[in-house]
Amino acid sequence: MPLDPMPHAPEHDPAEPGPTTPRALVTVSGADRPGVTARLFAALADPADDAPAVEVIDVEQVVVHGQLVLGVVVAVSCDEGAGVTEDDLLRHLRRLADDVAAAVDVRVEVEPAGGPEPVAAGRPHHVILLGRPVSPDAVAGAAQGIAAVGGNIDAIRRLSDYPVTSFELTVSGAEATALRTELATVAARTGTDIAVEQVGLARRSKRLIVLDVDSTLVRGEVIDELAARAGRAAEVARITAAAMNGELDFAESLKARVAVLEGLPEEVLDEVREHLVLTPGARTLIRTLQRLGFRCGIVSGGFTQITDPLAESLGLDFAAANTLEVVDGRLTGGLVGEIVDRPGKARALARFAEEYGIPLEQTVAVGDGANDLDMLNTAGLGIAFNAKPFVREQAHTALNQPYLDAVLQVLGFTRDEVLDAVP
């Protein structure tokens, strides 16, 4: 039985306003300018001789395109005793509101606030909407979906307006699985990405990110480029597509694709590497996370002859991939060493996390193919990036934007924070 150090503790702290203490909500709205908030709280702090002293219970302020909305819940101070009624409090605050409104040219409204706010069931969540653009239909659909599973939107803020528009909704009262399922339907219908994450310190405690390479960090598939130089492009492309969709075992498909490269001169690896095109936003993502203290690296089902120089050029902390066998300057059609396949990617993530002393729950993995799924689900947050439907359905969340730095918004970073990270 759990120990109770205070078996006779009161239901609430006697030093705090109780459920019957008169309360009121003061709402300020209008053009934002310096001194509005200071003027309101100065008035609350210095009441007239016959007015009750108040305590601040809750505050929320937001500025949208220069328009301020400030809400303050106040209660009669405990020192006032039981002699002050709600009507007394409201009369005092309305006189105060008139003075503040005249002084700083804003609207100030006062209304009863009732008792303490009810505590919503379940852990709160962040719901992130991303698109270019984000349509009103997407916001309406998300709001309706949240309500349908018993959730309430407590706050909304914009995270970014470039390269994608993104908004973060703080939602209480909804169960995680039901919320994700409902919003996945909205995302599919509206074409807007919608991610769901639990509110808490864990979201901002991520410290290591692992990126897949082909069709994630870079555009296209390296194996397809090599096969084109061997005159077997169509054959290999079919095998690659089947493997990425989960229709073929990755290790066996890899061996079959590598076999067709037999006889290619080693120089083709340099040619393919020189023609790699990074996914838009890749450098911004890596640079920003590195400046925020992340360990950044790649884990690929591709080839070290390509990924190692790429990792060096981007200043990454680690890299893991397969190694093509080369004899007398030509590819043999075989591989050397352990194959980095679907389970191998997850093992590599765990190995790098252990090497840097970072718990797996503080890691992020990003990938697009079926061979990434174990890695995505091993990480604290797995993001399917422009992934096959089979992968999107099983990852923690999915992004279908063409910009890799949209990952930053899923992690909760605003556009301003990204710009601040630029040297």
Burial of 51 per CB tally in 10 Å (0-12, 13-18, 19+): middle
Q: What is the DSSP letter of 402?
A: S
Q: At what angle do helices 233-244 and 222-229 cross, to 10 degrees?
A: 160
The DSSP-derived string for 185-197 is HHHHHHT-EEEEE
Q: Are 97 and 47 in contact (CB under 8 A)?
A: no
What is the crossing angle of helices 304-314 and 267-274, to 10°?
A: 40
- Rounded to 10 degrees, the C-alpha dihedral 225/231/233/236 comes to -100
Alpha helix segments (H runs only) across 13-149: 36-45, 86-104, 136-148
Determine the Cα–Cα distance for residues 171 and 393; give it in Å rounded to an integer.
Answer: 22
The closest of 48, 111, 55 to 78, measured between CA atoms, is 55
Cβ 180 vs Cβ 195: under 8 Å: no
CA distance 248 to 254: 10
Q: At CA 288, angle to CA 157 and CA 347, rounded to 5?
A: 105
- Of the candidates 4, 32, 46, 214, the residue annotated as catalytic is 214
| The token pair that represents 216 in the structure block | 């994630």
Residues whose CB is less than 8 angstroms from the CB of residue 259 and which lie 6 or more positions away in sequence, other chains included: 333, 334
The yes-or-no answer on residue 58 being catalytic is no
From 13, 46, 99, 212, the catalytic residue: 212
Query: Is the Cβ–Cβ distance between 74 and 57 less than 8 Å?
Result: yes
Cβ-based neighbours of 11, under 8 Å, separated by 6 or more: none
Here the contacts of 157-160 (C-beta below 8 Å, separation 24 or greater) are 157/62, 158/414, 159/128, 159/409, 159/412, 159/413, 159/414, 159/415, 160/408, 160/409, 160/414, 160/415, 160/418
Q: Is 308 a catalytic site residue? A: no
Of the candidates 404, 401, 407, 396, the one whose C-alpha atom is nearest the C-alpha of residue 372 is 396
Q: Could you tell me the sign of the dihedral formed by the alpha carbons of 405, 411, 417, 422, in that order?
A: negative
Positions marked catalytic: 212, 214
